[in-house]
Amino acid sequence: MRLRAAPGSQPGLWRALPCPQAELRLELVLRSGQAFRWRESSPGAWSGVLAGRVWTLRQERERLWYTLYGDGDGAPGADTDQILRDYFQLDVGLRELYRAWGDADPLFRQVARDCPGVRVLRQDPVECLFSFICTSNNHISRITAMIERLCQAFGRRLCCLDAQPFHAFPSLSALTGADAEARLRALGFGYRAKFVSGSARALAEGIGAEGLCGLRAAPYAEARRVLCALPGVGTKVADCVCLMALDKAEAVPVDTHIWRIARQRYGMALGGKSLTPRAHQEIGDFFRGLWGPRAGWAQAVLFCADLRKGQEPAGSRDQAWESRGRDSCRDKPR
């Protein structure tokens, strides 16, 4: 990879973490719709922004290699190892979880054979929240493009790799300006513009970024309640943030895709032809009873396996993600 760095930035050295592929399959996790800012910059190499730095990741059978670019304090070391371990939650033993889920659920055991190493990311709560606000009634290519435009317009430029610029995710203060909503509409956010700017203002005037991060220590129901009070945040978006940023491993994001899986594959008798708040709760409770306290992690594996089956023909991935981006509750235009 050729680096064209911003002034003052330097490419770092490559460093490796022990990481068997049974514990992490990089190409599956970074394509699983949890985060939208990782690019496959060359075959097997993924570049993205994490903790205010630009990273490139590669994986061998037993190692996860990484290097960093942009402004920073020296070469990769123990601190950057810990950032990566925290992001991928590598202290959670995945093989043991797969075994337990498979023992409890023959369907999980069947589909997980072809989908090893899928784990839940531990993301920055602000980035995760605003990213998932953008998923409402949307598909993966548009979500990725929208978030990229958001970062370019409101975030700090970090560096440029192979003529592709990388920006930090915007701060709350950057999204609370008087013209923020108008600028977002000009960027193609449509009705989501008022949700992004409105949630940024609500957080800035309320618990702030620190308080949002502090919800990691709150009970799941409390964190979900606080999130659902924000503009454009319904139960699906709240559960995504709870699971992928706020340490609520029991949170099971339910959209029309998971609703269909619950009905068609698990035989749940759910009334009606659409996802209702009651059905959302019933499905989450069912999977928590089946898979246990990390039910959200197991759901991520099942969804990833289903997504992989639908990747051909071309275009089916976006259709699958479009279903994942829908919510029947408060994520609709209003």
Q: Which residues contact 333 (CB under 8 A, 6 or more apart)?
A: 137, 190, 191
What CA–CA distance (Å, rounded) separates 249 from 242? 8
Higher pLDDT, 327 or 150: 150
Domain that holds residue 78: 3-90
What is the domain-level CATH number for residue 83? 3.30.310.40
CA nearest 75: which of 12, 159, 153, 138? 12
**What is the rounded (10 degree) CA torsion for 126, 128, 134, 135?**
-160
What CA–CA distance (Å, rounded) separates 330 from 277? 10
- Burial class of residue 104 (count of CB atoms within 10 Å of its CB; 0-12, 13-18, 19+): middle
What CA–CA distance (Å, rounded) separates 146 from 5? 24
Domain tally for the chain? Answer: 1
Report if residue 213 sits inside a domain.
no
Please check whether residue 16 is in contact with residue 65, taking contact to mean a CB–CB distance below 8 angstroms.
yes
Residue range 187-238, pLDDT digits in tens: 999 999 999 999 999 999 999 999 999 999 999 999 999 999 999 999 999 9
Asked if residue 103 has pLDDT above 90, the reply is: yes
Residue range 142-179, pLDDT digits in tens: 899 999 999 999 999 999 988 889 999 999 999 999 99
Burial profile 124-144: b = 16 or more Cβ within 10 angstroms, e = fewer: bbbbbbbbbbbbbebbbebbb
User: Between the CA of residue 76 and those of 10, 70, 127, what are the distances in Å?
Assistant: 12, 12, 23
Report if residue 282 sits inside a domain.
no
Percent of the chain with pLDDT over 70: 87
Q: Provide the pLDDT for residue 127.
A: 97
CA nearest 64: which of 97, 100, 24, 30? 24
Q: Which residue stretches of 105-177 are H helix?
A: 106-112, 125-133, 140-154
φ, ψ of residue 130 to 5 degrees: the values are: -70, -30
Report if residue 77 sits inside a domain.
yes
- The single-letter code of the amino acid at 58 is R
Q: How many CA atoms lie within 13 A of 154 on its CB side?
A: 27
CA nearest 219: which of 253, 247, 240? 247
Asked if residue 87 has pLDDT above 60, the reply is: yes
The model's pTM is 0.89
Position of tokens 């991060």?
213
Q: Answer left, alpha or beta for residue 100, where phi above 0 means left and psi between -120 and 50 means alpha.
A: alpha
User: Between the CA of residue 67 and those of 58, 92, 121, what are the distances in Å?
Assistant: 9, 23, 19
Report if residue 53 sits inside a domain.
yes
Asked if residue 81 has pLDDT above 80, the reply is: yes
- pLDDT bin (cut points 50, 70, 90) of residue 2 is very low
CA nearest 40: which of 53, 27, 21? 27
Report if residue 271 sits inside a domain.
no
- pLDDT bin (cut points 50, 70, 90) of residue 311 is low
Catalytic residues, by residue number, are 236
Report if residue 83 sits inside a domain.
yes
What CA–CA distance (Å, rounded) separates 320 from 43? 24
Report if residue 10 sits inside a domain.
yes
